[in-house]
Structure 1
């Protein structure tokens, strides 16, 4: 029985595919405390965003970066891009701690990895930050168009989620349309805001919630028809779209969700794998997050190879087909959509000989 604790133990708890490398970064002068986790480089350099967040503890930050980097491996594999999985977290409040000196120090740590890890944006970081990081390392993507990058990835991330939701709707109700459906969006930041606009344009009724009241008021001004609620997870909606932080789907919430379809942009939505079983038993279809939210990854991966933006958007739109295939495979095999998506990704990973 596995009893190992610490980094190695946590890595094994995620799956049999352990992390290749975890780097702890600290710079006293700037106040930087960061962790970079490289889960896999089997398909290519590990790519993943940098999350700047005031974690309650270093242990919580480690847990998050391990889970997120593992998820990036599967996201890249399922998306068909030749990249591995990695992620980084900077511990602290970006509103008070973020400085050019700190970002430069972080970039220097990224540089020491020699290209095994390529960073991008995430919660708490934006294109301006990536432009600063790009002054100190070449191993960064998602920079502003002025700096030669592809710009913010929120729109394409939302576009992928929208098409994943269409695939889920087709499975549940027989038509890939949001018309007449009520969608509860949890988290109305950049991605959630873009998704709301797409849902409304397709005929959906939308209700929304967020811990940030200013963000909710912005959505209300932009889209007066959106109903603002204290919670949408247990509201009488057809579709629940978690677009904030992960772990929101717990054993408790799985028993109280009224939606028949769960599909959103948040990473690591399931608090534990058992949650999906609870959703299945209640007849709720879950579209795996790492497949649905791969649009941003496709954009920054395209930036790295200087791909045509029109071709990248076409690839993102095809998330609809990938999600439909995964849902169909799950139904045919009598397994959950998460297991079916894992199999889809692992076929690519297993075809590559391990070099480490």
Structure 2
């Protein structure tokens, strides 16, 4: 089992993609010296995202590439890439910077969108992952078929991605078991912590033989964040699991370099509702607009929407549901619960 730390990528959502090149150098250097196998950097939405209007990062993709390439000497470094937001020339730029790996984010229904990117990256000698966003939105058997297709394209690894922090340990086992029965492609696991299960789910994935586990320092990541790097390594120690990670260096990096970026105190119940329902936070702006217009509880609206679909959030449907909720109950209005400074984004519309 290897660790992929995504603090400098998924964690960037928390600060609206404002990591500087100095932040990137410092944190990447410490992760590298602490023995982390894969270090992911750049815009949270991936290559080309600033250009495509998915939130403007503090630095260019190329600046993040150069900073990391100059810093990481022991492990591997890479970036995220959503075909349709990223274009092949974006990947070519990464290749020119000798990037070690790329992770392609696609939906299960659009695995074909990854094919050209896999081919280009593999031709350049990259390690290639296909991350199936919102994996829980399709049954395990459909997920397994998509993983087999990714393997046929030449991808090195396919990812179970719990985008909304909706999975239980048994759910993780269902997806991994179904995939092992269908294909021999290596598997990775990316958790979110909406139900407080990111570490437990990552542990279950490791026990089932998943080859790469994602994590981030302080659990810094979109919405409620990810598996916590330093906690997960401590769990490995507690289990007597042999590894080469420097726990105390990770703890120091987490406290000195990452914790200062975190300003939210306490937990947001809207995030919990997202995990319970399986709602992806990239659709939150649609929920927010409907809740403000009709003065309804976003948690109730999220739950009602996800009873009908977890794939998308059509504005017309959301507005209709909000009107129905408003007609039934006007007592509990929670507009103040929205973290209005937080990035919501719309990249799931591309997927």
TM-score for both structures, normalised by structure 2? 0.31
Q: TM-score, normalised by structure 1?
A: 0.31
